[in-house]
Amino acid sequence: MPLLIDGYNLLHVTGFGGGGGPNSFQRSREALLSFLANSIPDEERSLTTIVFDAAEAPPGLPRTLTYQGIIVRYAAEYADADALIEELILAETAPRSLLVVSSDHRIQRAARRRRASHIDSDRWYGEIWQRRQEAENQPGTLVPDKPVRSLTEAEIAYWVDKFSEGMAAEATDSVEPTKPRTREVETDLTNPFPPGYGEDLLRDGEQ
């Protein structure tokens, strides 16, 4: 099923949304993307798009790139991320198979107009986390609690490292060849967020 995620809306409910320090927001976004890449099945990542606002973004930031197979879009030429998400919903050729993740009523209305499914960000995040716990909670394995508040810089670094380790373990255990991508993107970067990007947006959202 194609998955379309409202990036900052999800970031606000995950607990990854800023913990202080000069690089906290960058680390928060890395933690979110690492969590998604480690939680969404391999075969579904190429069908997943996450959209972020691009206000005040550094010059030359790619509009489209990938992170562990997940397509990351920036609303560089739009009034806001909502406008780009609405356009992507409208352009979807099979909208009834699309799931939109956002608590924003404007985006949910756009999904309903195309008869696409939608789910609040906090509910979807909770469901994803529960599946992670069920998969990881083997005898003798400690699964940390779900973040439910803004994390400190040290805690964000912990989650980035934890999810990155999970990705490395999956890559080591996998014996299947890499599947070809089904959609074109402009570039593929390990860290799609330059330092300081989007900090003003998250601060505004927390007020």
pLDDT in tens, 9-57: 998 888 776 555 555 666 777 788 888 998 898 999 999 999 988 765 5
Instruction: Give the number of C-alpha atoms closer than 13 A to the C-alpha of residue 62, restricted to the C-beta side.
Output: 15
Q: Single out the residue of 57, 40, 44, 54 nearest to residue 7, CA to CA.
A: 54
pLDDT, position 138: 56
Q: Single out the residue of 82, 86, 78, 93 nearest to residue 113, CA to CA.
A: 86
Residue 153 maps to a domain: no
Residue 188 maps to a domain: no
154 vs 31: CA distance, rounded Å: 12
166 vs 33: CA distance, rounded Å: 13
pLDDT, position 122: 92
User: Does position 61 have pLDDT exceeding 50, yes or no?
Assistant: yes
Amino acid at 39: S
pLDDT, position 74: 86
User: Does position 75 have pLDDT exceeding 90, yes or no?
Assistant: no
Residue 171 maps to a domain: no
Mean pLDDT of 166-188: 43
Residue 50 maps to a domain: yes
pLDDT (tens digit, 9 = 90+) per residue, 93-147? 999 999 999 999 999 999 999 999 999 999 999 898 888 777 776 554 444 555 5
Q: Single out the residue of 93, 61, 66, 82 nearest to residue 5, CA to CA.
A: 82
pLDDT, position 25: 62
Least confident range from 33-42, 60-69, 124-133, 197-206: namely: 197-206
Mean pLDDT for the chain?
A: 74
pLDDT, position 46: 93
Q: Single out the residue of 90, 92, 112 nearest to residue 102, CA to CA.
A: 112
Query: For residue 14, what are the contacts with CB-CB under 8 A and spacing of at least 6?
Result: 32, 35, 125, 147
49 vs 59: CA distance, rounded Å: 22
C-beta separation of 117 from 111 below 8 A:
yes
User: Does position 172 have pLDDT exceeding 50, yes or no?
Assistant: no
40 vs 71: CA distance, rounded Å: 13
User: Does position 66 have pLDDT exceeding 70, yes or no?
Assistant: yes
**Full domain range(s) for residue 87:** 3-137
pLDDT, position 133: 76
C-alpha to C-alpha distances, 5 to 49, 67, 70, 101, 132, nearest whole angstrom: 6, 14, 11, 5, 18
53 vs 61: CA distance, rounded Å: 12
Residue 155 maps to a domain: no
User: Does position 3 have pLDDT exceeding 60, yes or no?
Assistant: yes
Q: What is the largest distance, in Å, between two alpha-carbon atoms of the chain? A: 50
Residue 118 maps to a domain: yes
SS3 (DSSP) at 148? coil
Predicted TM-score (pTM) of this structure: 0.69
Domain count along the chain = 1
Residue 155: both structure tokens together? 């805690």
Least confident range from 17-31, 49-63, 156-170, 177-191: namely: 177-191
Residue 162 maps to a domain: no
Residue 163: both structure tokens together? 């999810």
Residue 143 maps to a domain: no
